[in-house]
Amino acid sequence: MIRRLLARATSPFPELYHRFAPDVWVLAVIRLLTSIGFSICMPFLALHLHQERGVAMTLAGLILLAGGLCAALSQAIGGVLSDKFGRRPILLVAASAGVFLYAGMAVLLGVSAPIWAIAVVYIAGRSMLTTTHPVISAMVADFAPKEKLTEAYGILRIGANIGWAAGPAIGGYLIGFVSYSWLFAIPAAMCGIVCFIVLFFTHESSSRPAYTIGIRSILPPAENSAFLAFTLFSLLLFIVMGQMGATLSISTVDRFGFTPAQYGFLLTLNGLIVIFFQYPISRVLARMAKVRALVLGSLLYGVGYLSLGWMTGFGWALGAMAIVTLGEIIHTPITLSVVGELSPPGQRGQYMGFFGLSETLGFAVAPLLGGILLDAFPSDLRLVWAPLASIAFVAGIGYHWWARRFRM
């Protein structure tokens, strides 16, 4: 049924639909649902803790960092487990846990539970839910041929960013009428729908190699020097990418005076640009040298975030977001395509999990670093965004060196 609905929805573009296996489109739907659920409530968590509960941004950043560190490890383990036991079981367990964890967050926030209790459930929830990321990425690499990997990951990102376009707008609107805790009922329902889709509309794609499961199972990808160097430079850019959450929300709402709805619209603009431009740009990127795309994406990230230091109004912020999003469109599908090409077929879960570890770690460090800068320079956003933008420029230089060193 899901496949028939997808075929009808894309009937004006039959060539596009049949360009990929139906399973790729089902995975894009799953990413759509999980992105809607996450982005409705989670981008506002730091803002809620800071404004409603009086938590300092540094402490809020530490909570997000702890969640990210645990999620990074669980994501890497999730990739290994998906190689050993199959992709579908891991997706099903993670989505089922998401139902209860989102509901738990709703209850804790609704009764103004202690900050430590909220932090514990947040950390557990994020750790469990991020295990789906390497699994879905590995499944795309399983189902899509090598020459179409960049395009396939572009499709996956469109699904995710439709969610990011709708979620923050809905969350920013609803938060003006209902308490923040009620927003978590929506992602709980989304996780339930994902369980249904995984059970009835996905196929197993893993060859299930016979290596022993353990912490050491995470490490073999690190023995590939080209992959390890690529992951380390990507980690730098992930730290910059992660500023779109807590740091951007505090900069625009708490420091500059935007409304939560305006901040939500910034994230919605990000999603809309990806929706309309990701696939055509991915087709172009498939014919472009990967290192050029990686460097260009890094530079655009740096320029976009650097400009926020001189922000004069909402229009300026929209322009900066457009530049950042263009960097995202160029950079993200290329990185996953590189990982897919560097990973052996029987170890794609491991490689995607290890790379996802660096991504989650970067996104975990991001709010802490941003929070420290916001607390240190409360009245000058230039001193907040300039250091963050410089990390993106360093990543671009690193990608250039990586391509020359390993002849990529």
Residue 3 has pLDDT above 70, yes or no: no
Higher per-residue confidence, 358 vs 331: 331
Three-state DSSP at 37 gives helix
- Under 8 Å between Cβ of 234 and 358: yes
pLDDT band at 208 (very low <50, low <70, confident <90, very high): low
Q: For 351-368, what is the mean pLDDT?
A: 82
Determine which of 58-67, 92-101, 194-203, 275-284 has the lowest per-residue pLDDT on average. Answer: 58-67
What distances in angstroms separate CA 385 from CA 90, 181, 251, 390, one per listed residue? Answer: 38, 31, 10, 9
Distance between CA atoms of 102 and 115, rounded to whole angstroms? 16
- Give pLDDT, residue 8: 52
Residue 317 has pLDDT above 80, yes or no: yes
- Give pLDDT, residue 4: 58
- Give pLDDT, residue 327: 94
Summarize pLDDT for 158-180 with one digit per residue, the tens: 888 787 777 777 877 787 777 78
Q: For 29-57, what is the mean pLDDT?
A: 81
- Give pLDDT, residue 9: 47
Summarize pLDDT for 20-35 with one digit per residue, the tens: 778 888 998 998 888 8
Residue 194 has pLDDT above 60, yes or no: yes
Domain boundaries, the chain: 21-406
Q: How much is the mean pLDDT over the chain? A: 82
- The pLDDT > 70 percentage for the chain reads 91
Assigned token pair, 110:
């609704």
Phi first, then psi, for residue 214 (nearest 5°) are 180, 175
Three-state DSSP at 237 gives helix
Q: What is the number of alpha carbons within 13 Å of residue 140 lying toward its C-beta? A: 31
Assigned token pair, 63:
């909570």
- Give pLDDT, residue 14: 59
Distance between CA atoms of 350 and 390, rounded to whole angstroms? 31
What is this structure's pTM? 0.72
Determine which of 33-37, 88-92, 133-137, 359-363 has the lowest per-residue pLDDT on average. Answer: 359-363
pLDDT band at 222 (very low <50, low <70, confident <90, very high): low
Residue 237 has pLDDT above 70, yes or no: yes
What distances in angstroms separate CA 129 from CA 49, 62, 195, 246, 377, one per listed residue? Answer: 21, 19, 13, 19, 34
Assigned token pair, 119:
């932090």
Determine which of 30-34, 279-283, 320-324 has the lowest per-residue pLDDT on average. Answer: 279-283
**Can you name the CATH fold of 21-406?**
Growth Hormone; Chain: A; (1.20.1250)
Q: For 129-141, what is the mean pLDDT?
A: 84
Closest CA to 317 of 379, 368, 381: 381
Determine which of 20-29, 184-193, 214-223, 339-348 has the lowest per-residue pLDDT on average. Answer: 214-223
Determine which of 16-25, 288-297, 324-333 has the lowest per-residue pLDDT on average. Answer: 16-25
Residue 107 has pLDDT above 60, yes or no: yes
Residue 6 has pLDDT above 60, yes or no: no
Q: For 235-244, what is the mean pLDDT?
A: 91
Residue 17 has pLDDT above 70, yes or no: no
- Give pLDDT, residue 285: 80
Distance between CA atoms of 407 and 245, rounded to whole angstroms? 35
pLDDT band at 213 (very low <50, low <70, confident <90, very high): low
Q: For 352-379, what is the mean pLDDT?
A: 83
